[in-house]
A and B are shown apart, each in its own frame.
Chain A
Amino acid sequence: MNPTEPRSGPGALSEQRGFVSTQPATVSNSSQERQQALLQVDHLESGYDETRVLWDVSLEVRRGELVALIGANGAGKSTLLATLSGLLPAWTGYIRFAGHDITHRRAEEIVRLGLSHVPQGRRLFSALTVEENLLLGAYTRRAGSQQAIKQELEEVYALLPKLRERRRQLAGSLSGGEQQMCAIGRGLMSHPELLLIDELSLGLAPQVVDDLLNALDVIHREKGLSLLLVEQDVQIALERADRAYVLENGHIVLEGTGHELLQNERVRTAYLGA
């Protein structure tokens, strides 16, 4: 559970090294942008048809941060992610990502800019193989970048070795944990700067969740990938997060560092049952 614990996955260290050495520097102009927000959401409102779900939501994710978004069922977490990735139109407000205004951009352009969304419930293309799923994650990469895609695939396999074993298997035949791995791997294939993960641990065994979180730790800390994690297991989320937001009924009601929120009375009674 603790991020400083050694990784429990098989061959963790060698995989980590392999992953890092092949990785081009992603945080190129980090000196000037490090403290700048990678994703900035201002007064966002959004919803479905007539139903407003998000009310005046403002948050930000800085480069290299792991930000957790917690909240009860129906608070609007998934709606927020869908709006950020362009699947739902924003009603009012402003979304800025990596220096671009993406408030009204199409999903395709947003993926190209480096924002990748791992949807809730895995949503794999179940009649396709694991490798085909991963390659579809690289859909927006240019046709000429076969080599880069192949390298990305190798990195994903190095990070999540189970996927290499299963690569010719139909995604629908995987276990729940393997499906989540595949969904995350697919999200990484577009070479994102920010990965949105919707409900990482839902319905998974604790050991599987641990393995997944450790893998995410590797890419987060060593590759500099920023993460926005929606998580119903509040304990796990707050222990790992640099910062966190609490969403209730479509409003951001609390924000702070992960440890601050872990100590917070309101969070403890509402979400941790303490």
Chain B
Amino acid sequence: MFGSWHKPSTSSTATAEPGAEQRPAQPKSGTRWPWSLLTGLIILALAALIPLSGDAATLHTWTLILMFAALAQSWNFLGGFTGYASFGNVFFFGVGAYSTGLLILAGRPFWLGVLAGAVAAGLLAFLLGLPVLRLRGHYFAIATLGIAEATRELVAIRNLGGSGGEVELPLPALSDTAFYFLFWLLALACFLLTAYLARSKPGYALIAIRESEETAEAMGIPTYWYKIGAFVLSAVPTALAGGLYAYWSTGFDPPTVFDVGISVEMVLLTVLGGAGTLLGPLVSAILFELLSFQFQISGSTFHNSLLGLTIAIVTIFIPQGLVGLVQEFFRPLAPGMSRRQLLVEGVRRVRRVIAANGV
């Protein structure tokens, strides 16, 4: 399932040859960033209106949606921009949750716990990144998965600080709306950081690593340190989300906050939305989490199968992600096209989307 996105455009490099003058309308980029930024900000502004509904269930759902939006976006910093797919980012979520839980149990204020979790996750990402980011491609994915799984086993056995297996926290002093806006701020911060990366020198350096790491190195980009930087950048918001989650849900069962399913969800949401894109993780977190909750409400026994089926269909037909699909359709047309040519071009675009997977 993940094979198709890892190096999205290498195939087009190999095929070019002289005499290819009749290539289809030239793909362009560079103009879409402001639109993506605007769209994302509008979506987040609308999301800020959710608490007005006054419905506790809706608020709960959207709190989780924003949490996953933050998680997917922070996964995107490393996984999307550099193409290094970490399957262990839940480790940082767990570190955030655990630090917060333990510090609250020790009588410290919750914000101190959340911050301590973020700092710890950042440091751990740096230290783990030193060996792990020397690995390439699948080896990196396996190593990160191993770290997260090992930690899960460890906390399942030891249950550090927990009473009877669970870390139980006192009822939070914050209202649900306050929590909602904390998650909202986190999602917004991640979005703005992505927007910065999509347009800045460090961001281009990360993309260069994804496109061709050796060439990036030859251009004088210190690829190793960039990867470690992106890993830290992706760990910190994940830990913040973990800390907030722990306090919001008044405790947790230790192995669940290290569950590999959360990692997979970060990867899925980003890839389904469009890895390395600005809007992708945000949009797909909203769409697929809403869909997931709908399936849960309606078809109780089948909801996971239905969700899985939807994901499979999306992956097969839109390997470049939702954002890629939208961009394909809104790509600027060559000027002076007749209506007939427009129709032909439309049909061609639909076919190209399908053909992109070799169907």
Contact = CB atoms under 8 A, between A and B. Distances in A.
A136 interface: yes
Interface in A154-168: 166, 168
Contacts of A37: none
B221 A108 contact: yes
Chain A contact-residue range equals 35 or more
Contacts of A137: 219
Given A108-B220, A127-B211, A129-B28, A204 B18 contact: yes
Contacts of A132: 30, 204
B16 interface: yes
Given A85-B218, A108-B221, A173 B27 contact: yes
Interface string A69-89: 000000000000000010100
B201 A139 contact: yes
Contacts of A111: 218-220
A166 B222 CA distance: 28
A231 B204 CA distance: 31
Nearest to B24: A173
Contact of A136 (B16, B19, B219): B219
Interface string A167-203: 0111111111111000000100010000000000001
Interface stretch (A20-28, A58-66, A116-124, A222-230): A116-124
A137 B58 CA distance: 49
Contacts of A91: none
B23 interface: yes
Contacts of A190: 219-220
Interface in B210-226: 210-212, 214-222
A120 B310 CA distance: 42
B205 A176 contact: no
B208 interface: yes
Contacts of B20: 175
Interface string A124-164: 11111101100111011001000000000000000000000
A126 B10 CA distance: 7
B214 to A, nearest CB: 6
Contacts of B214: 87, 119, 123
Given A125-B207, A137-B219, A171-B13, 8 more contacts: A123-B215, A124-B215, A125-B215, A126-B9, A136-B221, A140-B220, A168-B28, A172-B12
Interface of B: 8-10, 12-13, 16-21, 23, 26-30, 201, 204-205, 207-208, 210-212, 214-222, 276
4 A-B pairs with least C-beta separation = A111-B220, A125-B211, A140-B220, A172-B12
27 contacts: A87-B214, A87-B218, A108-B220, A119-B215, A122-B13, A123-B214, A124-B212, A125-B207, A126-B12, A127-B207, A128-B29, A129-B30, A135-B204, A136-B221, A139-B220, A168-B29, A169-B28, A170-B28, A173-B27, A175-B16, A175-B17, A175-B19, A175-B23, A179-B13, A190-B219, A204-B18, A205-B18
